[in-house]
Chains A and B, each alone.
Chain A
Amino acid sequence: MTLPVTIIMIEDDEGHARLIERNIRRSGVNNEIVSFANGTDAMRHLFGADGSGLVQKGNALLILLDLNLPDMTGIDILKQIKENKYLKASPVVVLTTTDDSQEIKRCYELGCNVYITKPVNYENFANAIRQLGLFFSVIQVPPAAS
């Protein structure tokens, strides 16, 4: 990787966050992971205090997003990320328990790059995250500058 990519994980369930992080590490990805347990904090981090997203200018980000958050829906966050000129180039991976086809379709329409359903079967779950790790290691993340 040419640029140090920061992984932003927006996941309200601490257990899930821990499992995801663990499996990402197991796949050999050592990038910094910044996690947020609610949408408000994540939004403040991504868009800054002024909400313009200028704070992330020049940073390479990869966003892991859960759809079911206590304070807002992941769909809203996804929409705002994809509408922001500094952030829209950052890949977004939706990682959630919802396997409703309508929801999946909606996410892709809004510009999500990968949609992963959290399976209860841990083998599959771990496998999916590791695959994602491999994906992270080859993906070219552009800096959020324009």
Chain B
Amino acid sequence: MTAEAHRRRAFWQLLLIAAGLLVLTVISAGSVYLVNKARDDSKWVIHTIEAENQINALLLEIRRAESSARGFLLTQGPDFQSDHEKAVASIIPALDKLTRQIGDNPAQRESIEKLSAAIKLRLDQFSREMNFVKQGQPDNAVAFIREAAAGNTTTTIGNLTNAMIREEERLFRIRTANSDRSQTLAASMTGIGSGLVVLLALISTWLVRRSARARDEAEARLRDANSNLEAVVHERTADLREANDEIQRFAYIVSHDLRSPLVNIMGFTSELEELGGDIFRRVSSLTHVPADGPPPADGQIALEGPDQQLAADFSEALGFIKSSIAKMDRLISAILNLTREGRREFQPEKVDTRGLIEAIASTLAHQASEAQAEIHIDPLPNLVSDRLALEQIFSNLIDNAIKYLKNGVPGEIRIRGRTKLGYAIFEISDNGRGIDPKDHQRIFDLFRRAGTQDKQGQGIGLAHVRALVRRLGGTMSLSSELNAGSTFTITLPITWNASNRNADK
């Protein structure tokens, strides 16, 4: 999975969680709001019912007052009178209560103003009626009632209250519907919200599972890739090792098989030389039969003129052949030794580097004193490495330093050492004849040399040294100018372990 896709997935999951939270918040807020609204609506419904009740209660009190007034008129009984007074006393508070209750509705307020005016009128009529009866003039009272009935106050009250009740009923219907709607809304909101949350949770779970599956797959792929990579590395290493072994074997066999004919060439050249000697001896004895005296002693050949020339040419030719064979033999031996070194397994051990180099210096002391050279050895870091390889590296380099000093200049050879990041760095510097920068690569090649060819050598030392340094897991470099000395720098791991280079044994 790419990083881009991964980021996208994480973003979607975050978004999902945010959406879930949002939905939850909205549902909670909506539910609270709707429940509150439903409660309000219910309150209004109750209020309407109460208002209606109050209207009925008021109407009832008025009727009670009316009927008790009639009773009093007919019987003049004090019971009716007290009943009437009680009813009249409760009319005004009931009216006030009703006024308070329906004060919020302008239409009802208008009605109630008319109603209270009518009630007041009616109450006034009641008190006058009662007064007539109390003063003992029931006739007047009856006349007044008749008169009052013509005024139709009771009907007005009835009509008004009926209108008010109708209004309240209308309000009741509206408010009940409102309340129902609120409750339905709250319920459906909760339902839908819960559904949404469940849906989101499901999507989230699905996403998480998908991502987990993707991760598992990626892990499996990674594992596969890793093991595959290991196998590939193994394979390549094995290939390289095989190729290296092949080269080693090849060099070994070739140098070996080259030597076999060389034995013949050398052998029969020597035989030829002997034969040549015999031939020329015979020529000499045939051409120089001394008249007097004994024949020339054995091994002595006395030739003259062209015969002598022939003999000289013959031995010159043989001399070239023999020196070439000798050289070829040295080269083959060198290759053999190199391949043998290449096949040798390193034995890492703790090496006192300074002691090792001092020992080398003492074995080279004779050459050094002949060349008027002094070898200075600074304190050096110790190594865990192959002693023989180190010996060969340093003795080759110090030997070279002594060998290629400037004629007539006292030599000064210095070996320095330091450590850096698990590596030991050695510098072998001299004040010798130096190496032209264009030859810096060439001198490390097998059988190649540089500079004035006035010293014996096969051109093997540095090639060998570099091969050894590489096998020890190190590197080697050179800084030098012609006539300005040379410094060979060798970097070797402080601890050589078989794993870092034993692949190319």
Residue ranges of A at the interface with B (Cβ–Cβ < 8 Å): 13, 15-16, 19, 22, 68, 97-98, 100, 118-123, 125-126
Contacts and interface: CB of A to CB of B under 8 A. Distances in A.
Interface residues of B, number: 18
A93 to B, nearest CB: 16
Q: When A and B form their complex, which 7 residue pairs have the shortest distance between CB atoms, in order from nearest?
A: A15-B264, A122-B270, A120-B329, A19-B267, A97-B259, A122-B266, A118-B263
A21 to B, nearest CB: 12
A137 B144 CA distance: 188
B266 A121 contact: yes
Contacts of A122: 266-267, 269-270
A120 B259 contact: yes
11 contacts: A68-B256, A100-B340, A120-B259, A120-B262, A120-B329, A121-B329, A122-B266, A122-B270, A125-B263, A125-B266, A126-B267
A97 B267 contact: no
Interface centre among A13, A121, A126 (most CB of B within 10 A): A121
Given A120-B325, A122-B267, 6 more contacts: A13-B261, A16-B263, A100-B340, A121-B326, A125-B263, A126-B267
B456 interface: no
A125 B256 contact: no
A77 B262 CA distance: 25
Interface string B58-99: 000000000000000000000000000000000000000000
Given A68-B256, A97-B256, A97-B259, A16 B264 contact: yes
Contacts of A16: 260, 263-264, 267
B263 A97 contact: yes
A97 B340 CA distance: 15
Contacts of A98: 256
Interface of B: 256-257, 259-264, 266-271, 325-326, 329, 340
Nearest to A19: B267
Contacts of B256: 68, 97-98
A13 B260 contact: yes
A125 to B, nearest CB: 6
Contacts, number: 50
A125 B263 CA distance: 9
B422 to A, nearest CB: 34
A130 to B, nearest CB: 13
A94 to B, nearest CB: 15
Contacts of A125: 263, 266-267
Interface centre among A122, A123, A125 (most CB of B within 10 A): A122
Nearest to A119: B263
Contacts of B270: 122-123, 126
Interface centre among A16, A68, A120, A126 (most CB of B within 10 A): A120
Nearest to A121: B266
A98 B340 CA distance: 12
A125 B262 CA distance: 12
Contacts of B260: 13, 16, 68, 97
A141 B75 CA distance: 181
Contacts of A19: 263-264, 267-268, 271
Contacts of A118: 263
Contacts of A13: 260-261, 263-264
A21 B406 CA distance: 52
Contacts of B325: 120
Contacts of A100: 340
A13 B263 CA distance: 10
A69 B104 CA distance: 130
A110 B186 CA distance: 105
B398 to A, nearest CB: 27
Interface centre among B257, B260, B270 (most CB of A within 10 A): B260
Contacts of A120: 259, 262-263, 266, 325-326, 329
A22 B256 CA distance: 24
Contacts of A126: 267, 270
Contacts of A15: 261, 263-264, 267-268
Nearest to A97: B259
Contacts of A97: 256, 259-260, 263
A135 B109 CA distance: 155
Contacts of A123: 270
Contacts of A22: 271
A119 B260 CA distance: 10
